[in-house]
Amino acid sequence: MEIIYLLIPLSVVLVGLIIAGFFWAVNSGQFDDLQGPAYRILQDKDELDQQQDSDPEDQQ
């Protein structure tokens, strides 16, 4: 069972990294909008490619 003397400290280091990552995400605003991205994934932007002939600026 001596292996846990290695594995547990390793997991503690991992948790440290996870928390660091989480802090980065919060500070960079990843958690500011919790509703929009859920929909965004469903709205593909494929239509953009088919419609390159109509640039909205030209219509003005």
Partner 1 sequence: MPPNTDQELIDCYHCSLPVSDAGRFQLSVAGETRAYCCAGCMAVSDTINSSGLLGYYQQRDLPALRPNNDAGNKASDYHSFDHASVQVGWVNHNDDQSSEANFLIIGINCAACVWLIETYLAKISCIQSAQINFSTNQMKVVWDPQRLKVSDIMQAVERIGYQAQPYTREARFKMLDQQRRQLLKQLGVSAALGMQIMVISVGLYTGDWYGMDADIATFLRRVSLLLVLPILIYSAKPFFRGTISSLRSGRAGMDVPISLGISLAFVASLWATIENSGDVYFDSIAMFVFFILAARYIELNTRINGSRAMEPLTSAVPLIADRRLNMAGNEVESIPVAELRSGDLVLVKPGAVVPVDGTIIDGASSFNESLLSGESRPMLKKPGETVIAGSINIEQVVTVDVSQTGEHTVLSSIQQLADRASLEKPRITRLTEAVAGWFIAAILFIALLSVVFGLLSGNPDWLSRTIAVLVVSCPCALSLATPLALSAGSSAMISKGLFVARQHTLETLAKVDHLVFDKTGTLTNGELSLVRVETLGALDATQSTEIAAALESQSNHPIARSFMHHARQTKTVVVSDLKSVTGAGVSGRIDNTNYYLGSAEFIKQQNSRLEIDPLTMEDYFQVDKISILLADQNQLLAVFMFSDEIKPGASDLIAYLHRQGIRTTLLSGDRRQLVEHVARQLGIDSIYAECRPQQKAEVLEQLIDSGDIVAMVGDGINDAPALSLAHLSVAVARDINLSSVNADMVMMNPHIETLINAISQARRTLSVIRQNVSWALLYNASAIPLALVGLVPPWLAAIGMSLSSVVVVLNSSRLLRLKPVEKAVNT
Q: Give me the residues that bind partner 1 (CB under 8 A), please.
A: 1, 4-5, 8-9, 11-12, 15, 18-19, 22-23, 26-27, 31-36, 39-40, 42-43, 45, 47-48, 50-51, 54-57, 59
What DSSP string runs through 16-38?
Answer: HHHHHHHHHHHHTTTTS-SSHHH
Smallest distance, Å, CB 34 to partner 1? 6
Smallest distance, Å, CB 37 to partner 1? 8
**Is the CB of residue 25 less than 8 Å from the CB of residue 31?**
yes
Smallest distance, Å, CB 38 to partner 1? 8
